Chain A
Amino acid sequence: KAGVTQTPRYLIKTRGQQVTLSCSPISGHRSVSWYQQTPGQGLQFLFEYFSETQRNKGNFPGRFSGRQFSNSRSEMNVSTLELGDSALYLCASSPGQFYSGANVLTFGAGSRLTVL
């Protein structure tokens, strides 16, 4: 069973540019969550999508957006990049059903974004 795949693994952008990151969940998983990981802030929740709808949202500015497609693949977009957006962006998938027990998150390897 293939794991969670994130692309690209590494990318470098300059301030003001925009970036799109992609996440392919485990087959059959309908929920995709995105997290930003930085040394100073730890793991910060961005948003979660389930069946193409944003179900939960963290406290990030509107420059951060996402979407989910009918095949459960998800993309996140960051517009007008700032230096502080440099981070490891992690995607996690889960079956996603409410009251489905542990509903374990399975993480991808992440996309490391560097903003210059």
Chain B
Amino acid sequence: GEDVEQSLFLSVREGDSSVINCTYTDSSSTYLYWYKQEPGAGLQLLTYIFSNMDMKQDQRLTVLLNKKDKHLSLRIADTQTGDSAIYFCAEKDFNKFYFGSGTKLNVKP
């Protein structure tokens, strides 16, 4: 199957920017996604990007896609304690979704 990799942990201070990285192996991915999971909850879609785009911005979120290197990143500006959660990247190939293992973001006050 396809391989989606993320680092497991990231710790930042409130007010700083957070950058969560993801690499994937499937060059035929059509869409790539970022989901957020808060404790005790399911996954909530944050944003997604079409594979022919390089960047997408949505308020405090910026997604960068380097298709050549198969690298996806999520930048959260002005990180708040409420952003503490697990962040999953995912890719879609045809109608199958492949998820990374999740990056746990800890925001220190």
Contacts and interface: CB of A to CB of B under 8 A. Distances in A.
The answer to whether A and B come from one shared complex is yes
A1 to B, nearest CB: 14
A98 B95 contact: yes
Contacts of A103: 31, 92, 95
Interface in B79-109: 88, 90, 92, 94-102
A114 to B, nearest CB: 14
Interface string A47-72: 01000000110010000000000000
Interface residues of A, number: 26
Interface residues of B, number: 24
A45 B42 contact: no
Contacts of A4: 42
A45 B95 CA distance: 13
B31 A107 contact: no
A98 B94 CA distance: 7
A109 B31 CA distance: 24
10 contacts: A4-B42, A6-B42, A43-B88, A43-B101, A56-B96, A98-B95, A101-B31, A105-B90, A110-B41, A110-B42
Given A45-B97, A103-B95, A110-B42, 20 more contacts: A4-B42, A6-B42, A33-B97, A42-B99, A43-B102, A45-B96, A48-B96, A55-B95, A90-B43, A92-B42, A102-B33, A102-B50, A102-B92, A103-B92, A104-B33, A105-B33, A105-B97, A106-B45, A107-B35, A108-B42
Interface of B: 1, 31, 33, 35, 40-45, 48, 50, 88, 90, 92, 94-102
